Amino acid sequence: MPPDELPSLLAQLASTQQQISNLLDSVAGDQDWQPAPGEWSFGFIAGHLSTNEKECFLERIDRIAGGEQPSFDYYSNDGRDFSGLGLRDSLQEWQDTRQAIFGRLHNLPESAWSLTGTHRSYGRITLMDVLQSMLEHDQEHLDGLKSILEDYPKHD
């Protein structure tokens, strides 16, 4: 049986993703705008979110749920160049990957919820820990976007 907190956590993840997507979609026509030289553009943020979801969170969920008892290092895609990606394409891929994650979670056998992996920095992690990390990642970017948009010259 999934943990009692799962429905609330999934609802929060859906909400933060929608909020971020709405904010980024509102500036999609200016996806290369940066708050300052060297800072992330709107398009870069969308590419980062999409790639992070697929390469980090989906992989961790699949490997833990698959019973591998995997070990994970810190994941970062900060050094990647997302400038060639379309903001809306990245948002769609992020949404598709998150929906795939939700689908996998809903189809897990009861025994999968007690499986774990090991993270180099955090120690033993469960599927719920991965979901909580996803929410924290979303919240960090949501807060950052709200701050950036306060200074965005074309934002109402």
Per residue, the 3-state secondary structure of 55-114, as one string, reads HHHHHHHHHHHCCCCCEECCCCCCCCCCCCCCHHHHHHHHHHHHHHHHHHHHCCCHHHHH
Q: Which is nearest to 50 in space by CA: 89, 83, 24?
A: 89
pTM for the structure as a whole: 0.94
pLDDT by residue, tens only, the chain of 156 residues = 578 999 999 999 999 999 999 999 999 999 999 999 999 999 999 999 999 999 999 999 999 999 999 999 999 988 888 888 899 999 999 999 999 999 999 999 999 999 999 999 999 999 999 999 999 999 999 999 999 999 898 755
Q: Position of tokens 């969308």? A: 46
Q: How does DSSP classify residue 39?
A: S
Residues for the chain: how many in total?
A: 156
Give the pLDDT score at 81: 86
Q: 120: which residues sit within 8 A by CB, 6+ positions away?
A: 71, 72, 73, 74
